[in-house]
Structure 1
Amino acid sequence: MSGQNESPYYFVPHPSRHPITAALGLLVILGSLAAWVNGETWAPLTALAGLLWLLYVLYHWFGDAISESEGGMYGKRVDLSYRWSMSWFIFSEVMFFGAFFGALFYARQIALHELGSLDYKLIWPDFSAVWPNNGPAALVSSFKSMTPWPVPTINTALLLSSGATLTVSHHALRENHRNKAIVWLAATILLGVCFLFLQGFEYFHAYNELNLTLASGVYGSTFFLLTGFHGFHVFLGGTMLTVVLVRLIRGHFTADHHFAFEGAAWYWHFVDVVWLGLYVVVYWL
């Protein structure tokens, strides 16, 4: 955000083609997905084309925003609007994961005990309200539940370490030690990549050795939805940090003006906190 001292009182961007082109890509993706679930053979290709088009649009859209920032067009008011926008975005993500945690709580603490009560003993006399289980009618094939050791615990250490390395990088940037900030930010991204590889190994182990799949009742569905969406958010946060790393290497940001770094860091720390909740609720309880 160089040149911010000469920035205008408030910046009004020029008319842009990006919103309509992004909407076009989303329309193609959603239409293709609807056709895909209805068995159309051409739908996967058009869905991929729509996704590639959307990524192309976003690349240029964010590129324009970066050019405006580095051109000194963003002052304090634009910086404040970005901060509020990122805060509300993270709040929406809190609500997103809150819905899944709420579903897990309902299944374990309400529905499970209700099905195991005396009211249902005549229907399912052999059912025991113990988590996890194969369901009251035992329609789900037998599976083993996931344990916190070793992969989830190692992943917890990786994410907590990544939060520490990211903080070191941020402080280095604030002290104008660019090379140090680059090294520690690269270490953060590497730890995130290791997390995703280990999560992929965990899924392979679950499917092939534990018979734990998305079809393994409410336990399997909540496990994979919670951990899978979290993994996607790790990937998204890692992508943000990678863009910030490239910008750092190119000489972007100053010690006082680097909200792109801060916004990505907020998101990464949010992902860390969500994982701690998952680690306790999903793997230990």
Structure 2
Amino acid sequence: MIHLSQISKSMQRHPFHLVDPSPWPFVASLSALSCAVGGVMYMHAYINGSIVFLSGFCMLLTTMFVWWRDVVRESTFEGHHTGIVQRGLRYGVILFIISEVLFFFAFFWAFFHSSLAPTVEIGLTWPPKGINVLNPWEIPFLNTLILLLSGCTVTWCHHAIVANFRNQAIWSLVLTIVLATIFTSLQAYEYHMADFRLSDGIYGSTFYMATGFHGFHVLIGTISLFVCLLRLLQYQLTQEHHFGFESAAWYWHFVDVVWLFLFVSIYWWGGA
């Protein structure tokens, strides 16, 4: 028996995409809740907190994979992403990036609230006494150059896709992913070498929350770019239809800008 949605789509006379019912929004929400609960349990030393967090994180990665698979299928093989649909998706990505700006604004607010008016509890000085801050002109400055260079290579890839220079698009995207991996590795090494931890007062809290969440966003952006590379190798990104890569590139430029603010405010000014 033919489903009613299939009949309606076969007689569709408008350029909009009527999305099929999907379980992935609910599963993704449940996975994010498990990650949050498990993370809080782990930080407060509850039993099996790490297991709850890892289970939620693995479920979230699986949901990302199957949800992206469905979106790719709808856009590439079923042709549902018309010009008007792509315009709506662009508005959605812009609103998402604005929400991310507000997300990081909270961390910068906490940092400047504590650093501009240090309290008696931290010695009326910033950085607080006993904190050996990181040298901003070593790994942080190197990471700044790497991230800025990755922003150039991802822009190169975008122009290559628009100009239909396939080989340039592939190699520039590979170079972007390599630079992103180097950035993440250096950030992890910096955390390992730091003399302070998340629990070391307000400085450690604001430092690791801001830079840690930025590192998480870099990881998500790297995964998005890797998915775009696989799609590019399979001829799924063309001159007219490459919004998946365009959204990942916008997200990557946002990550670049946030890091510049982190470097100037937390590493350079905040560590002086």
Structure 1-normalised TM-score? 0.82
Provide the rounded CA distance (Å) in 2 between the counterparts of 1:281 and 1:36. 30
How many residue pairs get matched?
Answer: 257
Unaligned runs of 5+ in 1: 1-6, 117-123, 135-141
Q: State the 1:226 CA deviation.
A: 1.3
Matched, 1:65 2:65: no
Code of the residue aligned with 2:144 in structure 1: it is: T
Distance verdict in 2 for CA 1:251–1:105, change over 3 Å: same
Provide the rounded CA distance (Å) in 1 between the counterparts of 2:82 and 2:181. 34
Provide the rounded CA distance (Å) in 1 between the counterparts of 2:211 and 2:196. 13
Partner of 1:129: 124
Matched, 1:143 2:131: yes
SS at match of 1:102: helix
Partner of 2:215: 231
Provide the rounded CA distance (Å) in 1 between the counterparts of 2:164 and 2:201. 53
Provide the rounded CA distance (Å) in 2 between the counterparts of 1:216 and 1:37. 14
Alignment of 1:188-199 (within 5 A): 188-199=176-187
CA distances 1:119-147 after superposition (whole Å, capped 9, x unpaired)? xxxxx8xx85331123xxxxxxx231112
Q: State the 1:105 CA deviation.
A: 1.0
Distance verdict in 2 for CA 1:27–1:154, change over 3 Å: closer
Matched, 1:74 2:99: no
User: Which deviates more from structure 2 when the two are superposed, residues 92-101 or residues 40-49?
Assistant: 40-49
Provide the rounded CA distance (Å) in 2 between the counterparts of 1:215 and 1:31. 19
Runs of 4+ with deviation above 4 angstroms:
26-40
Matched, 1:50 2:56: yes
Alignment of 1:181-260 (within 5 A): 181-206=169-194, 211-260=195-244
Provide the rounded CA distance (Å) in 2 between the counterparts of 1:226 and 1:36. 19
Indicate the percent of aligned positions where both proteins have the same amino acid. Answer: 41
Distance verdict in 2 for CA 1:25–1:95, change over 3 Å: closer
Backbone CA RMSD of aligned residues: 2.3
Matched, 1:98 2:102: no
Structure 2-normalised TM-score? 0.86
Does the 8 Å contact 2:15/2:85 carry over to 1? no
Higher relative contact order (CA 8 A, sep 6+): 1
Code of the residue aligned with 2:50 in structure 1: it is: P
Distance verdict in 2 for CA 1:257–1:26, change over 3 Å: same
Q: Which has the larger radius of gyration?
A: 1
Does the 8 Å contact 1:28/1:46 carry over to 2? yes
